[in-house]
Amino acid sequence: MAEKTIEEVRKFILMVAAKQGWLPTRDESFLEDLAEGLRVNWNRYGYFLCPCRDSEGSREADADVLCPCVYARQDIETYGYCFCSLYWSSAFASSGGVPGGIPERRGRGPTPS
Amino acid sequence: MFDYLEYSKVEGSDERHDIEIYALSTCGFCKRALAFLKERDIAHRFVHVDMVPLELKNKAKAELLERFKVHVSFPFAVIDGKDFLVGFIEADWRKTLLDGEPRRG
């Protein structure tokens, strides 16, 4: 599988954000870190594993945490940003808030579809 | 805590706590947490769990779960072998690690 460049990962992030009605994090250095994390994960595993989740060893086991993860919508509704803080709601972006760690939904209750 | 993991040791003048960090090399909050410790000259050791073979990291995660009875996500800090911080919320880390007088090493 062809390796991804950082430019390709940035395009992927922008595409996901546009499609879902979210915004990429407004924190530029955080965005760079997360884009690099996604690039590393693609080139390591062959899929965009969430940069803030550890692989369980296979694509099947990691299916719920492929970016954008199945928990992102709920987290963005609740906290204004997703678990790794790559995607923000527009309301959070205009609030001037600074994201911090949020509780992990993975492994707690039913997996959202 | 686990002799089968290879921790990277970071020296610091503030040694009031024994701090072990379980982090992911790809995670933004993990980077912020490690930078928080380094900038404040807090001694600690860390391991990038995503760089550890699957069998060993699963063993470590299971043992952390067993010991602390909490879902392990990253960054995960073990403080003095008995307390923990999960996720990076700077105010919590500041309160837990910086309250009180530093013990100089």
Instruction: Give B41-92 pLDDT, tens digit per residue.
Output: 999 999 999 999 999 999 999 999 999 999 899 999 999 999 999 999 999 9
Distance (Å, whole) CA A61 – CA A34: 21
Judged by CB atoms closer than 8 Å, whether chains meet at B31 and A33 is answered as: yes
What tens digit of pLDDT does each residue of A37-93 get? 999 999 999 999 999 999 999 999 999 999 999 999 999 999 999 999 999 999 999
Query: Is pLDDT above 90 for A112?
Result: no
- Nearest chain B Cα to A45, which residue? B50
- The answer to whether the beta carbons of residues A54 and B49 sit under 8 Å apart is yes
B42 within domain boundaries: yes
What ranges do the domains of chain A cover? 6-93
Per-residue pLDDT at A108: 74
| Predicted confidence (pLDDT) at residue A28 exceeds the cutoff of 70 | yes
Q: What is the pLDDT of residue B3?
A: 95
Contact between B72 and B65 under an 8 Å Cβ cutoff? The reply is yes
CATH number at residue B36: 3.40.30.10
Nearest by CB: A101 against B29, B50, B57: B29
pLDDT at residue B21, as a whole number: 98
Ramachandran assignment for A77, one of left (phi > 0), alpha (psi -120 to 50 degrees), beta (any other):
alpha
> Are B60 and B52 in contact, with CB atoms under 8 Å apart?
yes
Domain that holds residue B36: 18-81
Residue of B nearest to A52 (CA): B27
Q: Is the pTM of the predicted complex or chain greater than 0.95?
A: no
Domain count, chain B: 1
pLDDT at position B31 is 97
Sequence-ordered list of residues with C-beta below 8 angstroms from that of A15, at least 6 positions apart, any chain: none
Mention the CATH class of domain A6-93. Answer: alpha beta
Q: What is the mean pLDDT of residues A11-34?
A: 98
pLDDT at residue number B42: 98
Residue B73 lies in a domain: yes
Is residue B90 included in any domain, yes or no? no
Is B91 a domain residue?
no
